[in-house]
Amino acid sequence: MKRRIIASLLAVVAVIAVGPSRGWAQKGPIKVGFLTQMTGGGAAVGRDMSNGFTMYIEEAGKQIAGRKVEVIIEDTQGDPAQALTKLRKLVESDNVHAVAGIFLANEGYALAPKVDEYRIPTVWAVVSADDLTQRKPVKWAVRTGWTSSQPNHPFGEYVAKTLGYKKVVTVAADYAFGWEQVGGFQRTFEEAGGQVIQKLWPPLGTTDFGPYLPQIKRDADAVFAVMVAAMALRFPKQYQDAGLKARLPLIGGGTTFDEFVLPSLGDEAIGSITPLIYSAAIDTPVNKRFVKEFRTKYGKVPGYYAEASYSAARWIAEGAKAVGGNVEDKDKFLAALRKVEVSDAPRGPIKLDAYGNPIQTIYVRKVEKKDGELWNTVIQTFPAVSQFWKYKPEDFLKQPVYDRNYPACKYC
Amino acid sequence: MRSALFSGPPVAAIIFLLLLISPPFLSSFLLTLLTQALIYAILAMSLDIILGYTGLASLGHAAYFGLGAYSVGILATRYGAGFWVVLPLGILLAVAVAAIFGLVALRATGVYFLMITLALGMVVWGLAHRWVTMTQGDNGISAIPRPELGLPLSLAHSIPFYYFALAGFLITFWILRVIVRSPFGQTLVGIRESESRMRTLGYHVWLHKYIGFVIAGGFGGFAGVLWACYNGFVSPVDLQLATSVEVLLMVALGGRGTLLGPALGAAIIVLLKNLVSVYTHRWLLILGVVYIGTIVYAPEGIVGAVRQWARRATPGPLRSET
């Protein structure tokens, strides 16, 4: 008797182990790895990213195309080597079907060759290094964020034509993200008749702008600032304290006044104008719901880190739906990811260009105070802006990537 | 004489044997971590020469690691240089820079030495960060190819590369072991124990320290060369202060002046960092507890503590031998 029970048990085990394994693999969960920084200086950004990402997955009932979704969040520690190790872990031991996330440019560049080597469908959620979708495109990756220069192309024209500033001084964090934003701005601003008369480059992480503010040429019409993280928290106040705010209006790159820093800023921020792919104040039902839900869940207003990661999750979901949940067919899944079009993301309509970068609305935003809170009120929209702006991609790509000395400062 | 346990061949031999036969049985992620641990072990052992044997705490050791790594990055991606070109050049660059830095740093001892090495390390970091035309700045250099050695097995796969790193580790371990056991190495220990006494005995203290410093730099560069080949990527993060501190902790955790200890410390930190962070985002807390625990309960590091315990556990007659 006992033996028979054991034998039948063994048979059951054998059937489970060997029998329908193929069918099971098909119906197992869709595994998605999410890489972001959970410790160290960028941890707060990382949390916004992972919150945005999981928020979409949870709203979808943790199901995509009839299959369960499992999200594995890994900490890159803001270190490219660590990001590589975690990518290896996700692909080799967790066998994920797709990877998303990534915050820093150097992490993106470090992962890029490996992503193609693994042939793992990847969605760059936040990393905005221009060349990841320009001169060094990654076959297996698409982007749901932006290129650093993208919002600044229309903004350069806007500043020259609409705001009517003719001479601008730039003050930007001295690394690729700052260079690319200043480069994009300078190019279109000067083509529209403006002049960048001075470029100042405080090192990344500068919190005391004392040595830089007095250098600003006083015959300018405005100052274009690109600040990130701790720099963005300090700069506006010091700019005001130096008596500059009353004389030179402050404009700049999107991160200088994004929703991530606004709650920590005071009245010194009011009136500043910046462009970006998103503003929490976008007045559409979709976005209002998104902001409200995010606030209820995580206790803060979402910025573009959260929105771009939310949209990255949406992107994977739409791609998976397009292949009927069969994400194991990597080639088809990748092709589907490249074809996804979303008309109702919180930021508005998004589709990808041939290089895998979003064609999307750019919002020109002005910091205003409403009910005691600072918001980026949208004052102008540029629909369907590509990373190449009005230039032909082939011509655009012949130029070198924007850096500290390109475009050269002709009027300095 | 030291206690045989942990300093003699048996324990080391068992560990090496395990390292040699285990790869085919490990998951590829674990193999990845072991490969990293081996490379960091080389770096930690090289630091041990000056920290453990000579008693000079350096906060700039990541600089040599970075120099080796950047040599590979720049030479391989710009000029398509092969491994047998970048290996000697990478080490040579690290040696040359260590030779210059040594002249500056060894004028001081103690905290001042710490500060000077910190500053010199930051100089190299700054160079990597700001010399954009050469280093691509903060973005780092990517797409560094894995070396082609002309072997039948391609190093692009994880198991062959593991053995490649293991070979590098064993060679380093063997050379450094020969060095620390030589009269030269014993002199370094003497300097650590009492510099003035060694001077009185007629030893050229400065020269010994200097040579030790340069050797450490050279092997640091070697670790960097392997690191760049392994990751296919190098960025200023590889030579920032936090990396120098981490290597210092590896040596302290494993046990200063034991060679095997720092290698063990490197393995523990690499594994902890990666395995614990899989389960919790509070992994830094756990790492912190490990560090504090080591300082409080095993100030001589793990290997030091085991040796002490072994000494205490051994009965009288043997004990008097030590």
Q: What is the pLDDT of residue A2?
A: 52
B51, B83, B37, B46: which is closest to B64 by C-alpha? B46
Q: Do A93 and B138 touch (CB under 8 A)?
A: no
Task: Give residues with Cβ within 8 angstroms of A392, minimum separation 6.
Answer: none
Interface-testing mutation among B33, B226, B233, with chain A (most A C-beta atoms within 10 A): B233
Cα–Cα distance, B271 to B253 (Å, whole number)? 13
Contacts of A105 in chain B (CB under 8 A): 138-139
Q: What is the 3-state secondary structure (H, E, C) of chain A?
A: CHHHHHHHHHHHHHHHHHCCHHHHHHHCCEEEEEEECCCCCCHHHHHHHHHHHHHHHHHCCCEECCEEEEEEEEECCCCHHHHHHHHHHHHHHCCCCEEEECCCHHHHHHHHHHHHHHCCCEEECCCCCHHHHCCCCCCCEEECCCCCCCCHHHHHHHHHHHHCCCEEEEEECCCHHHHHHHHHHHHHHHHCCCEEEEEECCCCCCCCCCCCHHHCCCCCCEEEEECCHHHHHHHHHHHHHCCCCCCCCEEECHHHHCCCCHHHCCHHHCCCEEEECCCCCCCCHHHHHHHHHHHHHHCCCCCHHHHHHHHHHHHHHHHHHHCCCCCCCHHHHHHHHHHCEEEEECCEEEEECCCCCEEEEEEEEEEEEECCEEEEEEEEEEEEECCCCCCCHHHHHHCCCCECCECCCCCC
**Among partner residues B32, B277, B278, which is closest to A88 by beta-carbon distance?**
B32
**Among partner residues A80, A175, A403, which is closest to B233 by beta-carbon distance?**
A80
Closest residue of chain A to B284, computed from CA coordinates: A39
Bigger pLDDT: A5 vs B21:
B21
Cα–Cα distance, A214 to B321 (Å, whole number)? 71
Closest residue of chain B to A39, computed from CA coordinates: B281
Q: Which of A318-322, B16-20, B166-170, B174-178 has the lowest mean pLDDT?
A: B16-20
Is B143 touching A (CB cutoff 8 A)?
A: yes
Q: What is the pLDDT of residue A17?
A: 43
The CA distance from A206 to the nearest CA of chain B, in Å, is 14
Closest residue of chain A to B230, computed from CA coordinates: A81
Q: What is the pLDDT of residue A217?
A: 94
Place of tokens 């990845």: B32
Cα–Cα distance, B72 to B70 (Å, whole number)? 5
Inter-residue contact A108 to A127 (CB < 8 Å) = yes
Q: What is the pLDDT of residue B281?
A: 77
Mean pLDDT of A375-400: 95
Reduce the DSSP state of residue B141 to 3 states and report it.
Answer: strand
The CA distance from B5 to the nearest CA of chain A, in Å, is 34
The CA distance from A31 to the nearest CA of chain B, in Å, is 15
Provide the H-helix boundaries in B106-182.
Answer: 110-130, 132-135, 158-181
Closest residue of chain B to A91, computed from CA coordinates: B29
Q: What is the pLDDT of residue A12?
A: 45
Is B246 touching A (CB cutoff 8 A)?
A: no
Percentage with pLDDT > 90 across chain B:
55
List C-alpha distances in Å: A66 to A20, A34, A328, B22, B137. Answer: 19, 21, 14, 41, 45
Q: In A, what residues contact B, Cβ < 8 A?
A: 38-39, 74-75, 77-82, 84-86, 88-89, 92-93, 105-106, 109-110, 112-114, 129, 174-176, 204, 403-404
Q: Do B132 and A404 touch (CB under 8 A)?
A: yes
Inter-residue contact B65 to B92 (CB < 8 Å) = no
Residue A9 has pLDDT above 60, yes or no: no
Q: What is the pLDDT of residue A20?
A: 41
Percentage with pLDDT > 70 across chain B:
94
List C-alpha distances in Å: A228 to A153, A201, A206, B111, B311. Answer: 19, 13, 10, 34, 55
Q: What is the pLDDT of residue B311?
A: 82
Bigger pLDDT: A278 vs A4:
A278
Q: What is the pLDDT of residue A85?
A: 92
Cα–Cα distance, A193 to A283 (Å, whole number)? 32
Residue B290 has pLDDT above 80, yes or no: yes
Contacts of B274 in chain A (CB under 8 A): 85-86, 89
Residue B276 has pLDDT above 50, yes or no: yes
CA angle B128, B130, B131 (to 5 degrees): 70
Backbone torsion region of residue A23, taken as left when φ is above 0, otherwise alpha when ψ lies between -120 and 50, otherwise beta: alpha
Would strands A63-64 and A67-75 be described as parallel, antiparallel, or unpaired? antiparallel
The CA distance from B247 to the nearest CA of chain A, in Å, is 15
Bigger pLDDT: B65 vs B302:
B65
Is B277 touching A (CB cutoff 8 A)?
A: yes
Averaged pLDDT of chain B:
88
Task: Give residues with Cβ within 8 angstroms of A153, minimum separation 6.
Answer: A184, A185, A187, A188, A385, A389, A390
- The pLDDT-based confidence of B306 (bands split at 50, 70, 90) is confident
Bigger pLDDT: B15 vs A166:
A166
Q: Do A403 and B132 touch (CB under 8 A)?
A: yes
Contacts of B73 in chain A (CB under 8 A): none
Reduce the DSSP state of residue B33 to 3 states and report it.
Answer: helix
**Each residue of B62-106: pLDDT tens digit?**
999 999 999 999 999 989 888 899 999 999 999 999 999 999 999
A317, A300, A288: which is closest to A69 by C-alpha? A317
**Each residue of B243-263: pLDDT tens digit?**
999 999 999 999 999 999 999
Percentage with pLDDT > 90 across chain A:
84
Contacts of A51 in chain B (CB under 8 A): none
Q: Do B143 and A175 touch (CB under 8 A)?
A: no
- Domains, chain B, ranges and CATH? 9-20+28-321 (1.10.3470)
Mean pLDDT of A217-226: 95
Q: What is the pLDDT of residue B14?
A: 85
- Domains, chain A, ranges and CATH? 28-147+283-356 (3.40.50.2300), 152-276+362-384 (3.40.50.2300)
Is B159 touching A (CB cutoff 8 A)?
A: no
Partnered with residue A35 across adjacent β-strands are A74, A101
Is B140 touching A (CB cutoff 8 A)?
A: yes
Contacts of B278 in chain A (CB under 8 A): 74, 89
Structure tokens at A84: 């590589």
Residue B314 has pLDDT above 80, yes or no: no
